[in-house]
């Protein structure tokens, strides 16, 4: 068996352990976009990704824009875009690692909460 580099937990071993703890099969976990009925999930267990975080992630990671270009497109400073990217990345990673539902907030919904 291959050893982990830098004495960290290997991702596959870590995920298998998390799946076993949660009672899920170790065959894999599917993240499927689906609406949840109202009240089905408690707010504490849901990770909410805001529209600007999703847009920033899309521009930089899917469209391949440099941070400066993405900031110009969104009408933001480079520093603000970096903060939004960092927040979005952290939320996506939290949802994936902790097997939490990821909710993409609609713009109107986000405006009400602000």
**Cβ partners under 8 Å of residue 50, min gap 6:** 88, 105, 110
User: Average pLDDT for residues 4-24, to the nearest whole number?
Assistant: 57
Instruction: Write the DSSP symbol of residue 59.
Output: I
Domains by residue range for the chain, with CATH:
1-30 (no CATH), 31-113 (1.10.10)
Rounded CA-CA distance 110/9 in Å is 36
Mean pLDDT of all residues in the chain? 81
Spatial distance between the Cα atoms of 38 and 40, rounded to a whole number of angstroms: 6
10 Å Cβ neighbour count for 57? 20
pTM of the predicted model, to two decimals? Answer: 0.69
| pLDDT, tens digit, 9 for 90 and up, residues 38-94 | 788 888 889 999 999 999 999 999 999 999 999 999 999 999 999 999 999 999 999
User: How many Å apart are CA 61 and CA 109, to the nearest integer?
Assistant: 25
Bigger pLDDT: 105 vs 88: 88
């Amino acid at each position: 068996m291959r050893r982990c580099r830098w004495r960290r937990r290997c991702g596959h071993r870590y995920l298998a352990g998390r799946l076993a703890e949660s009672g899920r099969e170790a065959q894999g976990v599917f993240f499927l976009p689906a609406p949840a009925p109202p009240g089905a999930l408690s707010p504490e267990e849901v990770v909410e990704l805001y529209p600007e975080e999703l847009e920033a992630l899309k521009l930089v990671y899917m469209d391949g824009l440099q941070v400066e270009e993405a900031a110009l497109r969104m009408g933001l400073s480079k520093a603000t875009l970096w903060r939004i990217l960092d927040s979005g990345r952290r939320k996506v990673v939290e949802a994936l690692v902790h097997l939490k539902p990821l909710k993409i907030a609609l713009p109107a919904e986000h405006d009400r909460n602000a």
